[in-house]
Structure 1
């Protein structure tokens, strides 16, 4: 499995190329913003007609990451489901797969803005969760102090071999870590946006997802303007 190791708040963590976070010492796997049921909800409510395979693809990736890391505890950092009324939008097959995963180990659903409350598919539901020096929640707060969150779906845009590319990424500074969206067909917020530029410390880094995760200084508007990219 492709992964990049780094230290955060005195803990050794691993960023997986899929966008998941592994905490080996605690046997914890963390994912954010699965947005399960997004395509089905959009189709049912007259939105964009997208192929209804997002949940299948996302769950397949999650099953592979669980098989590779064998976590005792999985934490989902909110917006795991695209709507609170998930039973009306997810087929029984996907609901059964989720229940099987959540029933085989400790499983924590952190509440997000799309999915407040429990989905009734196993596991525990929390507003946030503290483990050792780290706190897991959906949306970053002004006073992080070892916070791991999601919500923003960060993506880095940078020049590679003469063309611009965009890659989902982790964002990391001394006090906070923001995970990329794990779900298929999810959009993203560029790291050079004022929201993320203001949120992260000046020395923040991005860890690019993909076949070989790479850590780089967080791309920002000022840097891009200066380098002409």
Structure 2
């Protein structure tokens, strides 16, 4: 863990009236382990009392990684992801941003950043703290990307990490699984990225432009939630749609 990151968990509290700033249109209020949070339409998570913005699974430079293996994808995923992240940062004005792992698609992703994307990333970090949590794709992010580094962090009752721990964990916010949900309504099927939570823990959707999704009815979620007793917040075009997991289909 980065030396400065070790102190972050106790450094911040509710300190400004700005913490009550209205959340962005289309977002949804939720609670994890008694902590009030805001699921943003972008796929980011806002913690008003800590003025903290969380994002998961940016997978920057996935396009260039695929191109190196002969799968040619448009090389604009990093620019698109950073542009969407910039909008959320500009709206909420966080004091700290935490990226919950797999921020780069592979260990060399940071080295492949274009000068323009690197400059954009630097500008997003200016005036705030930025913490990179290690993921399975980027266990040791490049040290030339700014910010601090940690394996996981605890802030009050919440633990921020990349991969969800086993059943029974309380107060965890994680990524890794790229949750998406499929619902059928009036004969029509819709599949969207989603936040998944049972009120005790939360799995965040992947934020990156080229990231896929894993259906919340997949067996992988059985190791996170006890049965289908959790809620999904599907990311629509203009708002979040809330469905119990029992309404979601595989």
TM-score normalised by L of structure 2:
0.84
Residues 147-181 of structure 1 show CA distances to partners (whole Å, capped at 9, x for unaligned) of: 00000000001113322111000110132100000
Q: Secondary structure in 1 aligned to 2:29?
A: strand
Aligned counterparts of 2:56 and 2:88: Cα–Cα separation in 1? 13
Please state if 1:122 is matched with 2:146.
yes
- Runs of 4+ in structure 1 deviating by more than 4 angstroms, as ranges, are none
Within-5 A mapping of 1:177-192: 177-192=202-217
| C-alpha displacement of 1:219 | 4.4
Q: State the Cα deviation string for residues 63-119 of structure 1 (Å, max 9, x = none).
A: 000111110010000000001112442211111111221233110100000111232
What is the correspondence of 1:21-100 to structure 2 with a 5 Å cutoff? 21-46=45-70, 48-100=71-123
> Equivalent residue for 2:185?
160
Bigger mean CA offset, 84-93 vs 122-131: 84-93
Q: Could you tell me which residue of structure 1 aligns to residue 7 of structure 2?
A: none
Cα distance in structure 1, aligned partners of 2:184 and 2:73: 29
Question: Are 1:213 and 2:236 an aligned pair?
Answer: no
- Residue 109, structure 1, aligned to residue 135, structure 2: no
The answer to whether the aligner puts 1:195 opposite 2:220 as a matched pair is: yes
1:40 Cα deviation (Å)? 1.1
How far apart are the structure 2 equivalents of 1:121 and 1:66? 17
Residue matched to 1:140:
164
The answer for unaligned runs of 5 or more in structure 2 is: 1-23
CA RMSD, Structure 1 to Structure 2 (Å): 1.6
Number of corresponding residues? 222
CA contact (8 A) 1:4 1:14 kept: yes
Whether the 8 Å contact between 1:157 and 1:219 is mirrored in structure 2 is: no
Report if the CA contact (8 A) 2:104-2:110 is conserved.
no
Matched, 1:171 2:214: no
Post-superposition offset of 1:198: 4.1
CA distance in 2, matches of 1:185, 1:62: 14
